[in-house]
Structures are given as C-alpha cells and as structure tokens.
Amino acid sequence: MNQVAPGVNAYDPIGSPSAFSSKLSTLKLPLMQLTTLVMSPTYIDRSRVQSATLMFPLAGDFNCLVEGRPHLCGPGLGSMYFPQNSGQFKGGGGTRNHVSLQFEPLLLEQTARAMLGLPGNAVLDLQLDNPRVAPLAVAGQPFSAVLQHVGTLIDLHQRDARVLTQLGVQDMLYRHIAMLLRPDAFLPQADLPCTTATAALVARLCDYMHANLDASLTLTDLEVFSGLSARSLQLAFKKQLVCTPMQWLIEQKLHVVRAKLIKADPFESVTSLAGAYFPNQGDFARYYRRQFGELPSQTRDRQHH
C-alpha cells in the first residue's frame, strides 16, 4: 500500500484477519497514475494524501474522515475527491472495489480552461482545495462506463503507457475529472454564430493540424490553440466543413498515408508507413477501408501489379 498510497499508518482488516484479501494494480501515465483496488472490509489511516486524487467507487460504500470532516461515498452516493497534501484521512468500509486517479492539479486547470475556451491566464476555480463527495456521472453519462472503456484499452495495448497516451487516454481522463469536480462550469453554451472571424479561425486551425499530423493532437490541444471550447469548435467545424475537428484530422492523416502507400516499395509494411499517424493499427485499417473502400495493403500492392 505504501507504494501507491504513501503515509499509511494503519491498514487493518475489519473482522477476522484470516478472511482479509486485497488485490491492487497500478498504471503510470506521464502525468497521471491509475490504481484499481479490490479489498475485503478494511480500516485505513493515512497521515496525509500527497497527490490530488479522485477515488471512484465501482462496488461497496466507503465512510471516511478527511481533516475531521465525515464523507460517505459509494456507487449510489458519489465519488470522493482528496486535494493534494490534504491532511489526515481515516476511513473504512465493507468489501469494495474502486479506481483511484492521481492527477496534476495545474494540468487539470489548464485542461478545464481549454475546454471552456478561456485564455491561459483566466481564473477558473475548480475548488481543488476542497475535499468533497463528487458526482458519479459526466453530462448525464456514468463515469464507470468511461473507466470500463479505459480498462479495455489498457488490456488491448498490454499496459503500454506510451501508446495509451498517444491514443489520448490521459487527456480524456483529465477532461472527465474536470467535469466531475465542477459540473456547473460546463453547462451548455449558446450556439456560436457563423462569422468571418470564425471561418478564419477554422482555416487557421486546419493549417495547424495539417502541420502537426504526426503529433497525436488531442481535443484539448485544439482548444488551447484556438481559444474555443470543444462545443464551439464542434459547431464551427460543422458549419464550415460539415464534420468535427477530429474527423477532419483523421481524414487528413488518411490521405497522407494513402499517398505514402501509393509510392511505397512492395516490401514496406503498412505499419511502418502508418504508425506515425495511427498508433492503433486496428482503428487505422477500419478508418481507411471506410474512407477509400479497400484495405491499406490493397492500395500498396496494386501499384506493383
């Protein structure tokens, strides 16, 4: 426990010690740590929670005291947020299963500002100093479903943190955490009017994406560059190009890879040509076939018959 939760003073079974069981798994991404924990009824005492942490319950309730204040979380109650360097934490509960997400507060604030289309120096209070019970859903959809999706990706890519980061898993989790901690800040905004300035901004953003096709851009990157929120970006692109920003980006990558396949040596692998643009080759093949009506290998091989 000390490896993933430093400062543990006590970690004791409730009931018969012989019946105690606990299973833990951790994945470290560049700026986030995910820990899944299944345990029998247990009492925990920690002197300090060092990292900003969202503890999301999948099964079983958990009652805790943070700096002397009581909080109760569970699947029907809410998740639990612990601020960075928050004081003594004591808690216990029955058999339970939860996922802990340790994250960087400054990056969370940066992500939230980008999502809302705010400048980098704008003040945005995510109440990160306030330990509290947080919601279980984002925009009406259960966050547990997002975690299940993330778990599937982790298994699919054999816990490769580099690939998972390229696929935007870390960015996606930061975006969801921001909305869990301050759902009121992300209420629907008014539609963005179609103006000449908006058209120019879309064109500038397209130039930026085209110059960085191999950079694994995320939606947050596009928000930071454009100064628009995700919703405003979606509306602007729908009006200008009849697609979303990420759909446009994928289409441009597909055209670049197709040009490489047409010129490729017959012994060059599709993976070597597409890997810089699409870390997930399964997704790439599916996108390619939908866009061009054939497999990438068929495009490459046809040039040499």
Given a cut of 90, whether residue 180 has pLDDT beyond it is yes
pLDDT at residue 169 in the model: 95
> Cα–Cα distance between 13 and 78 in angstroms, integer?
24
User: Could you give the C-alpha distances from 56 to 1, 46, 61, 101, 229, in angstroms and in order?
Assistant: 17, 18, 11, 8, 26
Q: Which CATH architecture has domain 1-187?
A: Sandwich (2.60)
> Cα–Cα distance between 291 and 252 in angstroms, integer?
11
Model pLDDT for residues 4-24, shown as the tens digit of each residue: 677 788 888 888 888 889 899
- Domain ranges for the chain: 1-187, 189-305
Contact call for residues 167 and 279 (beta carbons, < 8 A): yes
pLDDT at residue 58 in the model: 94
Secondary structure letter of residue 223 according to DSSP: H
Identical topology for domains 1-187 and 189-305: no
Percent of the chain with pLDDT over 90: 45
Taking residues 68-88, report their average pLDDT: 90
Secondary structure letter of residue 78 according to DSSP: B
Least Cα distance to 111 among 32, 171, 167, 185 occurs for 171
pLDDT at residue 189 in the model: 55
Mean pLDDT of the chain: 88
Given a cut of 70, whether residue 304 has pLDDT beyond it is no
Query: Which residue carries 């400048």 as its tokens?
Result: 119
Model pLDDT for residues 269-294, shown as the tens digit of each residue: 888 888 889 888 888 988 998 888 89
pLDDT at residue 78 in the model: 93
Given a cut of 80, whether residue 190 has pLDDT beyond it is no
Contacts of 211 (CB under 8 A, 6+ apart): none
> Cα–Cα distance between 73 and 296 in angstroms, integer?
49
Please state the pTM of the whole predicted model. Answer: 0.74
Least Cα distance to 139 among 190, 77, 182 occurs for 182
pLDDT at residue 252 in the model: 92
Query: Which residue carries 């580099």 as its tokens?
Result: 162
> Cα–Cα distance between 40 and 90 in angstroms, integer?
16
Which CATH topology does 189-305 take? Arc Repressor Mutant, subunit A (1.10.10)
Taking residues 111-116, report their average pLDDT: 90
> Cα–Cα distance between 56 and 143 in angstroms, integer?
9
Model pLDDT for residues 120-178, shown as the tens digit of each residue: 788 888 999 999 999 999 988 999 999 999 999 999 999 999 999 999 999 999 999 99
> Cα–Cα distance between 118 and 108 in angstroms, integer?
13
Contact call for residues 219 and 230 (beta carbons, < 8 A): yes
In degrees, rounded to 5, the angle at the alpha carbon of residue 76 between the alpha carbons of residues 71 and 82 is: 35
pLDDT at residue 120 in the model: 79
Least Cα distance to 47 among 4, 5, 97, 15 occurs for 5
Collapsed DSSP state (helix, strand, coil) of residue 81: strand
